[in-house]
Amino acid sequence: MNFIESLLFLFLIVSDSQAFTSPIQKTSRSHEVILANTKEGNSELVPNRHVECLIVGGGISGSTLAHNLNRAGVDIMLAEARDYLGGNVKSHKTEDGFIWEAGPNSFATQPSIVRIAYELGIDDQLVFADESLPPWVNHNGKLHPLPKGQGGKGAQGQIELVFGPNGVLKFGLAGDLLSWPGRIRAGIGAFLGHQPPPEGKEETIREWVTRTLGEEVYLRCIDPFVSGVYAGNPETLSMKAALPKIARIEKIAYSLDWNKFGAIFYGGLARQVELTKERKADPPDAAWPEFEYGNPGSFREGLSTLPNAISAELKDKINLEWKITKIDKGSDGEYVATFETPEGVQTIQAKSIVSTVPAHSLADVLQPVMPESKSIFEKVRSEISRVGVYHPPVAAVTVAYPKASFKDVELPNGFGNLQDLPGFGSLNPRSEGVRTLGTLWSSSLFPGRAPPDYNLLLNYIGGSRDVGLADLSEDEIIAEVDKGCRQVLLKKDAPEPKVLGLKIWPTAIPQYELGHLPLMKELETAEAKLPGLWVCGNYQTGVAFPDCVTFGYEHAKTVKKFLDTVVVESQLQETVKVSL
């Protein structure tokens, strides 16, 4: 039966919600410090300003890195092409009582987020969802809840997750998302074993899930989940690049001597034990607000609260509407970055530079210092018809309908009436004929998102398998979204939606597709030749919001270490000069 996918969800969504964390850990390269390189340097550049660290890109990765470096006493500048910090994080509030997001909807809470909120004094604005709210899968005209606990902590939470009213056991025995043959196939893969991974072949998400748990789990559980989170195509996304933590569970499963056929359930259990130990070894600070790992969270007034607080903290260390066009070497071996700004071309000299701008903006910028950049960022992967790192278009469409216009049906497992939208949101497998990938039930997640008589829905539509979305007019996109809501959630006579916002992200989420890891390896090799320059971003260190915040915290340590080494080296050189 299908404890499997509950299993999968147990490890994927519920307990280890950073399932999507990138396998690429930015190594803290101990850069060999090059102090001067006059031959290679471009002596014509006359910088307008000098800083120790220039951070380029003011999304969540860049702004949180800037906060951490500034806190560590580093002289920084943060440069951002748009006129606000946050990148694709943008919250809005309307006068008639709606708070809505133009980009990401929430984060799976991790210590890095609670830490930075505490440091910025916005921890009292953190809001967390009711932990028992499940994601629902739309299948055969019905909504099916995925297993979740009841919000109990520690062991109690795990017991609820397995035996609770919406637990794994109930899902496996009484749920009807999977057919019996589907459950049996999945159960065999989870508890007895499955084919080993093919040698020498990088598997797609589809291949991996089908091999381990069967086609039905893939189609009804994983496909909607992956398209809902990555807006991606599980037939081109690389399992070990896009879902590294889940892929690792199989490795752990095979490492258990007695588990000859790699049944992943036992790998999952072992990972759970490992995770519990890791968390115990590095507990959250007692001064932080209490939180549950992985629980969906946000801020009372939306996710922009975080970049807005960083804006207020860093003030004139931020330059908005500064678009980087080139990174070069100056005559003394330091870096010189050129920007197009409202005040004309500006150049900044920096001991170190961290780029967090999207991969698709980088090839030309890096060319003067990293000749390989074009071949890396524009590499053709003909087997999956890709050039460089693919960022497909996604539209985020926020609409509201009166509660009374939602279907008046009782949901399974005691969740109550659909009109109250008791859940995280609904996912649409591609087989169900609904163009919207997923609908987040925003007003159910966090307080104060909509007036009491309305339900607020954030719909994501487009992605790798629907690039034609970008050719539609705004009215056509809204019509598609409204149609999807009517197919899944609304009564036939529901009124027209109240449209709060439509934002098309032409290059939304980077896709970790087949060949991504070798590409990133090439980038790392090229970067290693350039001490003090780091080329980072969500295409490398993970796409989820918490990954970006964690990057900002961890990478600050690497930059600080580098800068401290530069100071020691230059002091040594001075001493040698004096004593000569």
Ligand X SMILES: Cc1cc2nc3c(=O)[nH]c(=O)nc-3n(C[C@H](O)[C@H](O)[C@H](O)COP(=O)(O)OP(=O)(O)OC[C@H]3O[C@@H](n4cnc5c(N)ncnc54)[C@H](O)[C@@H]3O)c2cc1C
Check residue 480 for interaction with ligand X (CB under 6 A): no
Q: Contacting ligand X (CB under 6 A), which of 324, 399, 434, 535?
A: 324
Helix, strand, or coil (residue 283): coil
Q: Which is nearer to ligand X, 80 or 202 (CB)?
A: 80
Closest to 545 in 3D by CA, of 20, 9, 15, 16: 20
- Give, in order, the Cα–Cα distances in Å from 517 to each of 23, 25, 200, 208: 9, 11, 14, 17
Return the residue of 15, 21, 88, 428 that touches ligand X, per CB under 6 A: 88
How many residues bind ligand X, per CB under 6 A? 36
105 binds ligand X, rule: CB under 6 A:
yes
User: Given the complex with ligand X, which of 511 and 538 has the nearer CB atom?
Assistant: 538
User: Near ligand X by CB under 6 A, which window of 11-19, 57-65, 119-127, 239-247?
Assistant: 57-65
Does 544 sit near ligand X (CB under 6 A)?
yes
- Residue 61 in contact with ligand X, rule: CB under 6 A: yes
Residue nearer to ligand X on the CB measure, 244 or 262? 244
Which residues neighbour 16 within 8 Å (Cβ) at sequence distance 6 or greater?
Answer: 245, 271, 272, 275, 294
Query: Of the listed pieces 80-88, 170-178, 491-499, 572-580, which binds ligand X according to CB under 6 A?
Result: 80-88
Cα–Cα distance measured from residue 211 to residue 2, given in angstroms and rounded to the nearest whole number: 15
Per-residue burial over 268-291, b = 16 or more CB atoms within 10 Å of its CB, e = otherwise? bbbbbeeeeeeeeeeebeeebeeb
Tally the residues of the chain. Answer: 580
Q: Is 343 exposed, middle or buried (0-12, 13-18, 19+ CB in 10 A)?
A: exposed
Q: Could you say which of 222, 396, 450, 490 contacts ligand X (CB under 6 A)? A: 396
Question: Among 23, 41, 87, 172, which residue sits at the site for ligand X (rule: CB under 6 A)?
Answer: 87
- Establish if 92 lies at the interface with ligand X (CB under 6 A): no
In the complex, least distance from residue 334 CB atom to ligand X, rounded to whole angstroms? 19
Using CB under 6 A, which of the segments 54-62, 132-140, 173-181, 518-526 binds ligand X?
54-62
CA diameter of the chain: 89
Q: Does 297 bind ligand X (CB under 6 A)?
A: no
Question: What does the per-residue mask of binding to ligand X show for 349-378, with x meaning CB under 6 A?
Answer: -------xxx--x-----------------
Q: Which one of residues 323, 374, 430, 483 is an interface residue with ligand X (CB under 6 A)?
A: 323
Residues 6+ apart with CB under 8 A from 196: 254, 262
227 binds ligand X (CB under 6 A): no
User: CA-CA distance, 114 to 475, in Å (whole number)?
Assistant: 39
Asked if 392 is part of the footprint of ligand X (rule: CB under 6 A), the reply reads no
Among 23, 104, 189, 497, binds ligand X (CB under 6 A): 104
Quick check: 133 binds ligand X (CB under 6 A)?
Answer: no
Q: How many CB atoms lie within 10 A of CB 385?
A: 9
Query: Under the criterion CB under 6 A, does residue 69 sit at the interface with ligand X?
Result: no
Q: Which two three-digit tokens encode residue 13?
A: 């969504």
Q: In the window 548-567, what residues touch ligand X (CB under 6 A)? A: 548
Strand partners, 460: 396, 438
Nearer to ligand X, 158 or 464 (CB): 464
How far, CA to CA in Å, does 457 sit from each of 35, 90, 390? 54, 16, 27
Q: Binders of ligand X among 507-536, rule CB under 6 A?
A: 508-509
Query: Residue 349, class by beta-carbon neighbours within 10 Å (0-12 exposed, 13-18 middle, 19+ buried)?
Result: buried
Q: Report which DSSP code applies to 94.
A: -
What is the gyration radius of the CA atoms in the chain, in angstroms? Answer: 25
The residues of the shown chain that bind ligand X, judged by CB under 6 A, are 56-62, 79-82, 87-89, 103-107, 323-324, 356-358, 361, 394, 396, 505, 508-509, 537-538, 543-545, 548
